[in-house]
Structure 1
Amino acid sequence: MSAVEAGEREGERGGGKPAAPAWRGGFGRLWTAAVVSRFGDALRGAALPLLAVSLTDSPVLVSLVTACGFLPWLLFGLIGGAIADRVDQRRAMWAVDAVRAALMAGFAVAVWLDHATIGLLLALGFALTTLQTLFDNAATALLPSVVGQEALGRANARLMTGQEVMGRFVGAPLLPVLLGLGAAVPFWADAATYLLAALLVASLGVAAPERAPRPAGRTLRQEIAEGIRLLWRDRVLRSLCGCTMLVNIGIGALIATLVLIVTGWLDAGNTGYAVVVTVYGIGSVAGGLVAAWITDRLGRIRSLVVCGAAQLAALVALGTIRGLPVAVAAMGLFGFAGMVWNVTEVTMMQQRSPAEMLGRVSAAFRTLTVAGTPLGALLGGVIAEAWGLNSPALAAAALFACGLVALVPGMRSGIN
């Protein structure tokens, strides 16, 4: 058993309190870069659909704006992970952000000059997400070098909580103000956040992890296959990946139809929907604040099971009890448990993967699990039309139940 794995098992038994990441130095700059970038992403994510509906009357073209946020992961996610394991991850991250800043600034100019088209918008979304496949895998692989294995859980929790607060409670609410200054202003702001994030990451004094020399003639295809094989051979990660893929199908169905559930089945109107979404965000932030505390006491696998069961119960309540207060409470619980799940999932993947292969394992995991979300969104609409507006929540609950069953092999692996 490796020292890392032994330390992980000790933490799972509650044998010691993991260290907290120090804010000074590398982690503080990495956290700031992530939060600033998330602010820009929130502005762009909210502004692009509004711009899309002003450029076209086609629902299909408008829906493609969202699809562009998933398709590159399915096409290039594995390649991005393999490249992340070949290069200096810090340099890859700041270079990607510099390119994204240039692309976004160019798009802002097009909007300012009234030359934006739906085709340009779709191309931008596709290009940004394609670059993100390299950035996200490199970021996942870099974090253990910045904070160390023992502080990963708390580092992930702080990163995700900061991003949630900045994106949901600062970026999105600020959009109407920026739009009042001009249609191009949110995109200029997004370009500036990419540039600032690039400067912060470039200033990190983190050495690239040591890697064994690659044999001559080694191809990306062979390296990608190594990452997939490692993911498959690790019983815990394999179980977690299968579980996450199933629950993401359910989450996709819920996201696509939540507005119909609240405004249609509950008849709560736009105000009710805004309240539900806001409480979901509050629950997510609260979950991030206590995620490390929960996993310290329950262990990671048990935390996943408890959180999955809580989300399942929330979905059943949402789909069976016709009342806005119940929906608000259910979505608050759903967001809380979901954030704890996300922090725990990423930390387990980082701790169980060899440093030289973390980019590829992360890419394989993300590619398989991300595929469930657009599939679920499509199924959610079909299910709602066939069996009623509340049925996607119940279908999602059934998928969560199947996902928890998929975790059983991981429970039997010896990590409690």
Structure 2
Amino acid sequence: MISRFGDALRTAALPLLAVRLTDDPLVIASVTACGYLPWLLFGLLGGAVADRVDQRRAMWAVDLVRGLLVASFALAVGLGHASIPLLLALAFCLTTLQTLFDNASTALLPSLVDREALGSANARLMTGQQLAGGLLAGPLVPLLLTAGAFMPFAADAGTYLLAAALVASLRTRPPEREPRPAGSTLRTEIAEGLRALWGDRALRAVCVATLLCNIGMGALIATLVLHVTRWLDAGNAGYAAAMTAYAMGSFSGGFLAQRIARRTGRVRALLLAGSVQTASLLLMGTVRHLAALVAGMLLLGAMNMVWNVNQVTLMQQRSPAAMVGRIASAFRTSSTSGAPLGALLGGVVAGTYGLNGPALLAAALFGLAVASLIPGVKSDVPVVAPQDDGTTARATG
């Protein structure tokens, strides 16, 4: 959660810094696109490695390296050497490291809590991340920027280093894995993860839907700073308000995710979330008022949390324990591949059809995502709550 606090500072500050350096919508969108590209190049490899190594050690080592990278970037910005190529390089390097970190953390959680408690664990973890990364960090960005453009990045570096120390201090059992077959390679193990994902009807439908949503979100997020500061003429304060509304919605969605899933099943919970998000995006793209944007971002954030909790939990519950990292990486790589395309597409649409165009494009894509979920409903399963409605941690010895 600590590193997510810093991530939120950096994520909000990067586009604002990019706007200072250029007014080209496509170039600004490229900063976001570059932050997703490593998932296409290294995502599958990160999942295979995560299934082979001690996930806890991998996580703290990655955070240590990311902290040093962002600290170097903050120094460059403070010395007046910020540039678009430097922003692109930072986004690319951080996401490359994230491919290992995220897959390792997804694979580690099922070994720490009981299987039926995964939904509660994911909801609490993601809600805590939103509290730290959105509600607390978002409003601080304008204040930090007044002290210097380097400040959000310096704070981000500090949170990475602190998070690395905390993860390194955890005491967990060494991972228990069956010996790999003779001649097994990373390539064959990656292929096993892809086949397992494609062979599961529910996961396949959710993966396709998430791909479509990520194209839409890539288009929206890459151009949101232009939507707020130029189409709405709401300035940096309006941008901060939009990001804070999204974080508040995400925080509330964490409390709704499990309740909705228990009533509907996980795939149907995704259907509901996608439908509400489609309506929210239509509101944002048609009503030229900051209040409409804030309301839309609030609903978008809440339903995004409902989506994420149920999507990740469904994947963890339907994956063999020894393959969680590979299936997670296959899912993320396949679905995340739409984000850089969406970011670039958003820049083109904003420059050609107007700055509200990306929100309308996202609404259309979310509608298609809802339709693509229908085949997975038949494979949905009821959600059984733990007896104590909580998360049961396993002993680590």
1:279 lines up with 2:245 in the alignment: yes
Partner of 1:252: 218
Q: Given residue 153 of structure 1, which amino acid in structure 2 is its aligned partner? A: G
Q: Distance in 2 between matches of 1:283 and 1:328?
A: 10
Partner of 1:269: 234
Q: Distance in 1 between matches of 2:9 and 2:102?
A: 19
2:304 to 338, 352, 368: 338
Q: Distance in 2 between matches of 1:163 and 1:195?
A: 17
Q: Distance in 2 between matches of 1:169 and 1:225?
A: 40
1:398 lines up with 2:364 in the alignment: yes
Local SS of the residue matching 1:218: coil
Alignment of 1:49-198 (within 5 A): 49=15, 63-111=29-77, 119-179=85-145, 181=147, 183-198=149-164
Q: Distance in 1 between matches of 2:8 and 2:202?
A: 33
Q: Distance in 1 between matches of 2:350 and 2:160?
A: 39
Alignment of 1:304-383 (within 5 A): 304-321=270-287, 324-383=290-349
Q: Distance in 1 between matches of 2:94 and 2:80?
A: 21
CA apart distance, 1:61: 5.9
Identify if the C-alpha distance between structure 1 residues 109 and 382 changes in structure 2 by more than 3 Å, giving closer, same or farther: closer
Q: Distance in 2 between matches of 1:268 and 1:182?
A: 23
2:254 to 269, 288, 311: 288
Determine what percentage of the aligned residue pairs are the same residue: 63
Q: Distance in 2 between matches of 1:79 and 1:124?
A: 20
Q: Distance in 2 between matches of 1:101 and 1:84?
A: 20
Local SS of the residue matching 1:412: helix
Identify if the C-alpha distance between structure 1 residues 226 and 334 changes in structure 2 by more than 3 Å, giving closer, same or farther: same
Q: Given residue 199 of structure 2, which amino acid in structure 1 is its aligned partner? A: R
Report how many residues are paired.
381
Local SS of the residue matching 1:68: helix
Deviations 1:13-55 (A, max 9, x none): xxxxxxxxxxxxxxxxxxxxxx110112123334444555666
Local SS of the residue matching 1:217: coil
Local SS of the residue matching 1:86: coil
Q: Distance in 1 between matches of 2:81 and 2:353?
A: 44
1:36 lines up with 2:12 in the alignment: no
* Alignment gaps of 5+ in structure 1: 1-34
Q: Distance in 2 between matches of 1:220 and 1:117?
A: 37
Q: Given residue 210 of structure 1, which amino acid in structure 2 is its aligned partner? A: E
Identify if the C-alpha distance between structure 1 residues 263 and 112 changes in structure 2 by more than 3 Å, giving closer, same or farther: closer
CA apart distance, 1:174: 2.5
Q: Distance in 1 between matches of 2:252 and 2:141?
A: 24
Q: Distance in 2 between matches of 1:59 and 1:325?
A: 24
Preserved contact between residue 145 and residue 206 of structure 1 (Cα < 8 Å) = no
Q: Distance in 2 between matches of 1:410 and 1:293?
A: 20
TM-score of the superposition, structure 2-length normalised? Answer: 0.85
With 290-299 and 345-354 compared, the bigger mean Cα shift is at 290-299
Preserved contact between residue 265 and residue 380 of structure 2 (Cα < 8 Å) = no
Preserved contact between residue 141 and residue 240 of structure 2 (Cα < 8 Å) = no
Local SS of the residue matching 1:216: coil
With 99-108 and 191-200 compared, the bigger mean Cα shift is at 99-108
- CA RMSD between the two structures: 2.8
Identify if the C-alpha distance between structure 1 residues 400 and 197 changes in structure 2 by more than 3 Å, giving closer, same or farther: same
Deviations 1:254-313 (A, max 9, x none): 334445555666x46336555444323222211112222222222212211111111122
CA apart distance, 1:64: 4.1
Preserved contact between residue 286 and residue 336 of structure 1 (Cα < 8 Å) = yes
Q: Distance in 1 between matches of 2:254 and 2:312?
A: 13
Local SS of the residue matching 2:35: coil
TM-score of the superposition, structure 1-length normalised? Answer: 0.82
Local SS of the residue matching 1:251: helix
Preserved contact between residue 311 and residue 337 of structure 1 (Cα < 8 Å) = yes
Q: Distance in 2 between matches of 1:322 and 1:109?
A: 39
Identify if the C-alpha distance between structure 1 residues 393 and 57 changes in structure 2 by more than 3 Å, giving closer, same or farther: closer
Q: Given residue 133 of structure 1, which amino acid in structure 2 is its aligned partner? A: T
Local SS of the residue matching 2:371: helix
* Alignment gaps of 5+ in structure 2: 383-397
Q: Given residue 269 of structure 1, which amino acid in structure 2 is its aligned partner? A: A
Local SS of the residue matching 1:329: helix
CA apart distance, 1:329: 2.8
CA apart distance, 1:242: 0.5
Q: Given residue 44 of structure 1, which amino acid in structure 2 is its aligned partner? A: R
Q: Answer with 1 or 2: which has the greater Rg.
A: 1
Local SS of the residue matching 2:137: helix
Q: Distance in 1 between matches of 2:77 and 2:241?
A: 32
Q: Distance in 2 between matches of 1:397 and 1:133?
A: 28
